[in-house]
Amino acid sequence: MDTFLNIAVTILSWSIFGQHVWATRRHFVPSPLEGGARFLVALVWASVFGFTILLWIGSQPIFVRIVGFAIELLSLALFRWAITASRQAQLRFAFDPSGPHSLLQDGPYRHIRHPFYSSYLLFWAGWAVATWSPLALPSMAAFVAIYISAARGEERRFAATNMSQDYLDYRRRAGLFWPVPFRHRP
C-alpha cells in the first residue's frame, strides 16, 4: 500500500506540475521572466524535486498521503476552473509589471480574486502534507510569501487603472485566496 500511495501521489503531483508548466507557456501571455518570476520558477523546480525525494525517503502515515492527495485534487479542480474562466482574458504570469486590461468576475473569480494562486497554494500544501516532513515547511512558507507578494502587486496595478473603483467593489465581495463567507455577491 505504501508504494502504491507514493506512486499515486507522485504521478498526480507531477501531472499537476505539468499543467502549471503548460499554463505558463500556453495560457498566460508570454513575457520575459524577471526578478520575482525567476525566483518563483527556481523555487518551483527545486520544490518539485525536493518534495518528490521527501515523499519517497520518508515514512508517512497512510492517512496523510490520502489527505494530501485529496488536497491536490482540489487544487487541480480549482486550477482547471480558473483556466476555463480566464481562457479569453490574456492573463499574465506572476510578477509581470504590465497593468491589467480587464477585470474577471466569473467562475472562481466570483469568489476569489486570485484563484490561480489559491490553486498553487493548495497544490503545494497537499504535497507538503503527503510528504509529512518538516523539511517541506520552508518551501511552503516561501510560496505563501511569494503569492501574497504577487497578488498585492497585481492589486496595486489595478488601483492605478480606470478600473480602480470596480476593483475596490470587487475586493469587498471576493476573498484574496479563499472565499469569504457571508459577503454579498451580486
- pLDDT one-digit tens code per residue, 10-64: 999 999 999 999 998 889 887 777 777 888 889 999 999 999 999 999 999 999 9
User: In one letter, which amino acid is 179?
Assistant: P
Lowest mean pLDDT among 30-34, 93-97, 108-112, 125-129: 30-34
> Cα–Cα distance between 23 and 80 in angstroms, integer?
10
CA-wise closest residue to 75 among 107, 22, 116, 123: 123
The alpha-helical segments, DSSP class H, found in the chain are 2-22, 35-57, 62-85, 115-131, 137-159, 164-173
C-alpha cell at 157: 496595478
- Give residue limits of the domains in the chain: 2-173
C-alpha cell at 155: 492589486
Residue 65, C-beta contacts closer than 8 angstroms, at least 6 positions apart: 5, 6, 9, 130, 132
Residue 16's pLDDT is what?
Answer: 98
Residue 184's pLDDT is what?
Answer: 61
Q: So what's the architecture of 2-173 in CATH? A: Up-down Bundle (1.20)
The pLDDT confidence band at residue 90, using thresholds 50, 70 and 90, is: confident
C-alpha cell at 163: 478600473
Give the tens place of pLDDT for each residue, 63-77.
999 999 999 999 999
Whether 185 has a pLDDT exceeding 60, the answer reads no
Residue 95's pLDDT is what?
Answer: 83
Give the tens place of pLDDT for each residue, 126-177.
999 999 999 999 999 999 999 999 999 999 998 899 999 999 999 999 999 9
